[in-house]
Structure 1
Amino acid sequence: MTFERPARPNRSQLSVPGSSSRFIEKAAGSAADIVMLDLEDAVAPPDKPAARRTVIEALRDVDWGARTVSVRINALDTPFMYRDLVEVAEQGGDRLDLIMVPKVNKAADVHLLDVLLGQIEMATGRKRIGLELQIETAEGLQNVDAIAAASPRVESLHFGPGDFAASIGARTTSIGGPVPDYAVLGEPDGAGRRDPHLADPWHYVLARIVVAARAAGVRPVDGPYADFKDEEGLRWSARRAAALGFEGKWAIHPGQVETLNTVFSPAPEEIERARRILDALAEAEREGRGAVALDGRMIDLASIRQAQVMVEKAKRLGLA
């Protein structure tokens, strides 16, 4: 069976504890592109069965409007995964769009989930469920190309900075924020002082994920920025991800959603510039000219492709 991946907006992915009906209802009214009901890290082990029931009731009863809804199950190496997957997929109704899977380590993990979901769908007649996969371990990153291409059910790859840092033994307790020791000393100033310059310890990981995702035709999404009171830090973290080619980023607090939606949306001037490039191309074609120029500069094919991507994204987001 073949599937066509939906072109879902994924600028902001709001994570909500699956144990809290109040937080779930509040998230349903937010401006987040995707709301993810979390049965993993946000729920203590003794509370997981009750949280699973809360999530199933919310999927059935809450008015989600046109919003995409995801549920993060527990990892495959836990005793909770099977019951999470089966009960949520069988009982959650058709408002369940996606299953988020933490700590995916190899393509075989995806194959297992694909088979189970396919059998559930055939047995219940429910609509197809997509998969979101978290890259959170050294093994997962090593196998990221195969993971991304493991099933047409896969819709997105997500970076999990906290667990990934633990997996590689990084000396940090920050999640998504700067790592002060990952720095180099600059040249001495006039007084002989040498200031440290922070570097980005996650650049390789993020670049690796975005390339694997784009090669497989799935969405790359950055993980959370844990200091939800630091709006400026969140904005710069999101700008870095957007510059690398990510579709969006996790929000762990509703107050982060607006910033993420803004950063991962094309700005009006960017959309206008892209439209002018495409208009210049169309005019050149009408006049039989092979060369395309705009504002005194030649436009090459790469610029045209970038403009096409920009305009198409703006249309998907309702901005053009």
Structure 2
Amino acid sequence: MTKPVRPKRLRRCQLSVPGSSEKMIAKAATLDLDYVFFDLEDAVAPDQKKAARANIVKALNTMTFGRTVRCVRINDTATRFCYGDIIDVVEGAGENLDLIMIPKVLDADDVLFVDKLLFQLEKDLGLKNRIGLECLIEEVEGMMNIERIAASTPRLEALIFGMGDYSASQGVSVKAIGSANGYPGDIWHYQRHRLAIACKSFGLDPVDGPYADIQNPDGYREECRRAMALGLVGKWALHPSQVFISQEVFSPTQGEVDKARAMKAAFDEALSKGLGAVMYEGKMIDIASIRIVNNVVDRANLIGM
């Protein structure tokens, strides 16, 4: 299967910012972070959503976000706000918008609706760059249909596990969104694992959702580690204090990068001599192990290490 060519973006941390808060939006513009999404969904009251669209458009057009990827989380396709979110934000700030995030995706049809509307807007407005999509998997139906969602459109770049709404959807009892709540192990192991597999199969980035207890940095760090161990590339932050933790955990250390590059160089030299494997520091490197090494090198290159 040939995978579509998608932009390579850093998603070690995705900071959530309410679109209704001009103060928080301005703060986000001062941070050195991979990615920010301005929220029009859960963080914005129904009677404030249209005003929040205007806040976001103004910020995208007037504020400098540097290297930070800029995204807007719209309301889901079953609401009366969805089409207006897309039209107002794209017409207002399309050239300064990188991605749209779709919440509560149940099946591929939800993605294709947004995809087609974006296609029409991009053509009509003459936008030079294609606006990407990300989908929140936060309902049991979405998890069941995750392969169809992942394969829905080349515009799709990432899937995110939203454990908050998912807890309610599956009937999981948690005291704080994203916490294990006394469960003996990773309560979200299956969901994270399945999301990672679907993403890797279709060339997407798998991202972990929120951890609501912002007063517990150790708990947040542990959830970052659990997600990273399964192949997820980043995690949400609900507060600027979580940004550094996530971006640190989802980055290789300089020592790991140096070793990976040395191993790759040793293997490339072996290949040039017609050898399929080589010993490096007492361990054999072959084509299987070098694929893991290449993941580290690719990650480091994207970060700029």
TM-score range, shorter chain: over 0.9
Q: CA deviation at 1:173?
A: 3.6
CA distance in structure 2 between the partners assigned to 1:35 and 1:286 by the alignment: 44
Supply the AA of the counterpart residue of 2:12.
R
Equivalent positions of 1:218-233 (< 5 A) are 218-233=204-219
User: Which residue number corresponds to residue 168 of structure 2?
Assistant: 166
Contact 2:73 2:103 in 1 (8 A): yes
User: Which residue number corresponds to residue 291 of structure 2?
Assistant: 305
SS at structure 2 position matched to 1:71: strand
Task: Pick which of 228-237 and 58-67 moved more.
Answer: 58-67
Aligned with 1:179 (options 162, 178, 181): 181
Unmatched segments (≥5 aa) in structure 2 = none
Aligned with 1:266 (options 241, 252, 255): 252
Q: CA deviation at 1:286?
A: 3.5
Aligned with 1:131 (options 133, 145, 150): 133
Equivalent positions of 1:1-320 (< 5 A) are 4-126=5-127, 127-180=129-182, 182=183, 198-319=184-305
CA distance in structure 1 between the partners assigned to 2:125 and 2:28 by the alignment: 28
Residues 127-161 of structure 1, C-alpha deviations (whole Å, 9 max, x = no match): 31100100000000000001011000001000101
Give the TM-score, by structure 2 length. 0.96
CA distance in structure 2 between the partners assigned to 1:114 and 1:237 by the alignment: 32
Residues 232-288 of structure 1, C-alpha deviations (whole Å, 9 max, x = no match): 111111011111001100001011111111100111121122112112112223433
Unmatched segments (≥5 aa) in structure 1 = 183-197
CA distance in structure 2 between the partners assigned to 1:94 and 1:67 by the alignment: 15
SS at structure 2 position matched to 1:92: helix
SS at structure 1 position matched to 2:14: strand
Give the TM-score, by structure 1 length. 0.92
What root-mean-square deviation, in Å, do the aligned CA atoms of Structure 1 and Structure 2 show?
1.3
Q: CA deviation at 1:3?
A: 6.6
CA distance in structure 2 between the partners assigned to 1:23 and 1:85 by the alignment: 22
The structure number with the bigger radius of gyration is 1
SS at structure 2 position matched to 1:94: helix
* Residue correspondences, number: 302
Task: Pick which of 282-291 and 52-61 moved more.
Answer: 282-291
Contact 1:106 1:139 in 2 (8 A): yes
CA distance in structure 1 between the partners assigned to 2:142 and 2:153 by the alignment: 16
